[in-house]
């Protein structure tokens, strides 16, 4: 019987590879422009890291983690997100001793046991940024602007930016009290998980995806009415910097985001279908994971959702796998010559292809056409004796005669 991939996972097939490469290369380029360097951390971590770093009251920890005991009976979890592992590595490798800020990015697979649907997988991929060491609002704006620049370079137009401020440990307790007071009357109608959140982290209830909870929280008090002066000033400054960069945003007091650790600024970049990018400031997380007191801000961007958006907007992505020259051959000597020529051209990065299927000349040309070869040529006794190569441009049938041994000349015709 045929074995299938596990539910919620996807193969990246060769015909789609160019899309991934294009997106990844663009993101790496933008990262470089912003002085952000790559970090790679393991696919799995001690479960404890996520309990502490993501938060006990989050959907991720409560329902979505791939957790198992390894043969040494340690509790291990496949990365559900990239922030906690990056913070762990930052602390463990003492990167906080270097000149700050530390700007890091990663491209990683993430694992979450989710209800599979459009744009919601069990293994998906994230590009993420984490910047450590700066508490300044300009850094929040820089991180947001990096995300916006990446989307702009990819040509995406349908996405909009929503921002909010979640307050800090100084002002949030007051808000939590107000929220609890509001929710109290409807406590019985909250879902089971939200009942447990009510005491531990009532704000989390605002992010619940259950219909009944959504209904209840519709007219709940909003955090922006409760934030302290420091948070308010910070928010005003972030907005001022975004305005200076001419980045359009909407203030959405309803967003709280799925993770427990956020303080002050949070943001989402979304379209009608889903959130493509989400992030914010998390000034308490480094301490929480055992590091020094140090502010931080970052985001995670879902690559599957990004590519789905590119496809939906019908944005043309440059292809990379077109064969530039198909070299057909008549006879054994010609076949060897074609093989050698292809090898020489490939050494110069020319994408050349030859016959490995025992095809007839006619079938070879049909195949060359099918794979979209830009030029074709046929080597035979005549060509070998006279050292000539007749390159045929498939788009218009025009022929170019070149010296078989002059690789530079061949290359220049192919590039013309």
- For ligand ATP, the closer of residues 61 and 391 by Cβ is 61
CA distances from 376 to 333, 334, 362 (A): 18, 15, 12
258 is in an annotated binding site: no
- Nearest CA to 161 out of 244, 282, 251 is that of 251
- For ligand ATP, the closer of residues 276 and 410 by Cβ is 276
- Residue 4 DSSP symbol: -
Contacts (CB under 6 A) with ligand ATP, residues 115-144: 119-121, 124, 126
102 is in an annotated binding site: no
Q: Report whether 54 contacts 260 (CB < 8 A).
A: yes
377 is in an annotated binding site: no
Per-residue contact flags (x/-) with ligand ATP for residues 203 to 242, judged by CB under 6 A: ----------------------------------------
Which region among 280-288, 300-308, 313-321, 378-386 touches ligand ATP (by CB under 6 A)? 300-308
Least spacing, CB of residue 282 vs Mg ion, in Å: 17
- Nearest CA to 290 out of 90, 18, 133 is that of 90
Selected from 52, 103, 112, 284, the binder of ligand ATP by CB under 6 A is 112
Per-residue contact flags (x/-) with ligand ATP for residues 249 to 268, judged by CB under 6 A: --------xx----------
- For Mg ion, the closer of residues 194 and 350 by Cβ is 194
Query: Looking at the chain, how many residues does it have?
Result: 416
53 is in an annotated binding site: no
Q: Report whether 410 contacts 344 (CB < 8 A).
A: no
Three-point CA angle 50, 220, 283, nearest 5°: 35
Least spacing, CB of residue 271 vs ligand ATP, in Å: 11
Dihedral in degrees, nearest 10, Cα atoms 239, 243, 245, 246:
130
Least spacing, CB of residue 24 vs ligand ATP, in Å: 15
Least spacing, CB of residue 382 vs ligand ATP, in Å: 57
The phi, psi pair for 224, rounded to 5°, reads -60, -25
Which region among 70-78, 258-266, 275-283, 312-320 touches Mg ion (by CB under 5 A)? 258-266
330 is in an annotated binding site: no
Task: State the Cα–Cα distance between residues 344 and 349, nearest whole angstrom.
Answer: 9
Which region among 206-214, 251-259, 321-329, 372-380 touches Mg ion (by CB under 5 A)? 251-259
- Nearest CA to 108 out of 130, 88, 127, 89 is that of 127
Residue-by-residue DSSP string for 327-395: EEESSHHHHHHHHHHHHHHHHTT--EE---S---HHHHHHHHHHTT-SEEEEE-HHHHHHTEEEEEETT
- For Mg ion, the closer of residues 142 and 268 by Cβ is 268
The stretches of 45-128 forming alpha helices (DSSP H) are 47-53, 59, 83-92
Which of Mg ion, ligand ATP, none sits in contact with 384, Cβ below 5 to 8 A by type? Answer: none
Least spacing, CB of residue 157 vs Mg ion, in Å: 25
| Three-class DSSP category at 179 | helix
The phi, psi pair for 98, rounded to 5°, reads -85, 170
Contacts (CB under 6 A) with ligand ATP, residues 266-295: 274-278
300 binds ligand ATP (CB under 6 A): yes
The stretches of 74-130 forming alpha helices (DSSP H) are 83-92
Which of ligand ATP, Mg ion, none sits in contact with 277, Cβ below 5 to 8 A by type? Answer: ligand ATP
Contacts (CB under 6 A) with ligand ATP, residues 58-97: 81
Helices (H) and strands (E) in the chain, counts: 15, 16
- For ligand ATP, the closer of residues 133 and 278 by Cβ is 278
Least spacing, CB of residue 82 vs ligand ATP, in Å: 9
Burial class (CB in 10 A: 0-12, 13-18, 19+), 167: buried
Write down the residue that tokens 């005549």 correspond to. Answer: 382
Which of ligand ATP, Mg ion, none sits in contact with 26, Cβ below 5 to 8 A by type? Answer: none
Number of residues that bind ligand ATP (CB under 6 A): 19
171 binds ligand ATP (CB under 6 A): no
Least spacing, CB of residue 189 vs Mg ion, in Å: 23
24 binds ligand ATP (CB under 6 A): no
Residue 72, CB-side half-sphere exposure with 13 Å CA sphere: 3
Can you say which residues are annotated as belonging to the binding site?
Answer: 81-83, 112, 126, 130, 257, 261-262
Binding site for Mg ion (CB under 5 A): 258
Can you say which residues are annotated as belonging to the binding site for L-histidine?
Answer: 81-83, 112, 126, 130, 257, 261-262
Binding site for ligand ATP (CB under 6 A): 81, 112, 114, 119-121, 124, 126, 257-258, 274-278, 300, 302, 304-305
């Amino acid at each position: 019987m045929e074995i299938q991939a596990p539910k919620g996972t996807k193969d990246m097939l060769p015909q789609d590879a160019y899309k991934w490469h294009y997106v990844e290369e663009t993101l790496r380029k933008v990262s470089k422009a912003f002085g952000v360097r790559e970090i790679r951390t393991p696919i799995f971590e001690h479960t404890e890291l996520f309990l502490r770093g993501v938060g006990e009251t989050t959907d991720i920890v409560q329902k979505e983690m791939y957790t198992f005991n390894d043969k040494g009976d340690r509790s291990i979890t496949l990365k559900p997100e990239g922030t906690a592992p990056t913070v762990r590595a930052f602390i463990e490798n003492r990167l906080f001793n270097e000149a700050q800020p530390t700007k890091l990015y990663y491209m990683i697979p993430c694992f979450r046991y989710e209800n599979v649907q459009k744009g919601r997988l069990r293994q998906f991929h994230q590009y993420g940024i984490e910047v450590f060491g700066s508490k300044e609002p300009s850094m929040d704006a820089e991180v947001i602007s990096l995300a916006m620049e990446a989307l702009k370079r990819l040509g995406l137009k349908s996405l909009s930016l929503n921002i909010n401020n979640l307050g800090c440990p100084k002002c949030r307790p007051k808000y939590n009290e107000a929220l609890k007071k509001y929710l109290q009357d409807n406590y019985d109608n909250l879902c089971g998980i939200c009942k447990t959140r009510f005491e531990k982290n009532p704000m989390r209830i605002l992010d619940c995806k259950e219909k009944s909870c959504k209904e209840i929280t519709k007219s709940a008090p909003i955090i922006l009415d409760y934030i302290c002066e420091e948070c308010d000033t910070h928010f005003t400054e972030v907005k001022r910097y975004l305005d200076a960069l001419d980045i359009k945003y909407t203030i959405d007091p309803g967003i709280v985001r799925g993770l427990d650790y956020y303080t002050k600024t949070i943001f989402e970049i979304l379209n009608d279908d889903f959130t493509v990018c989400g992030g914010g400031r998390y000034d308490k997380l480094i301490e929480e994971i055992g590091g020094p007191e140090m502010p931080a801000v970052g985001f995670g961007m879902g690559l599957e959702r990004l590519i789905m958006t590119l496809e939906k907007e019908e944005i043309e992505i440059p292809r990379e796998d077109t064969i530039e020259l198909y070299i057909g051959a008549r006879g054994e000597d010609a076949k060897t010559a074609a093989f050698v020529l292809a090898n020489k051209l490939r050494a110069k990065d020319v994408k050349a292809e030859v016959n490995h299927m025992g095809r007839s000349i006619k079938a070879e040309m049909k195949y060359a056409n099918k794979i979209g070869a830009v030029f074709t040529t046929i080597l035979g006794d005549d060509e070998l004796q006279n050292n000539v190569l007749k390159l045929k441009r498939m788009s218009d049938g025009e022929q170019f005669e070149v010296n078989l041994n002059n690789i530079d000349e061949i290359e220049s015709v192919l590039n013309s």
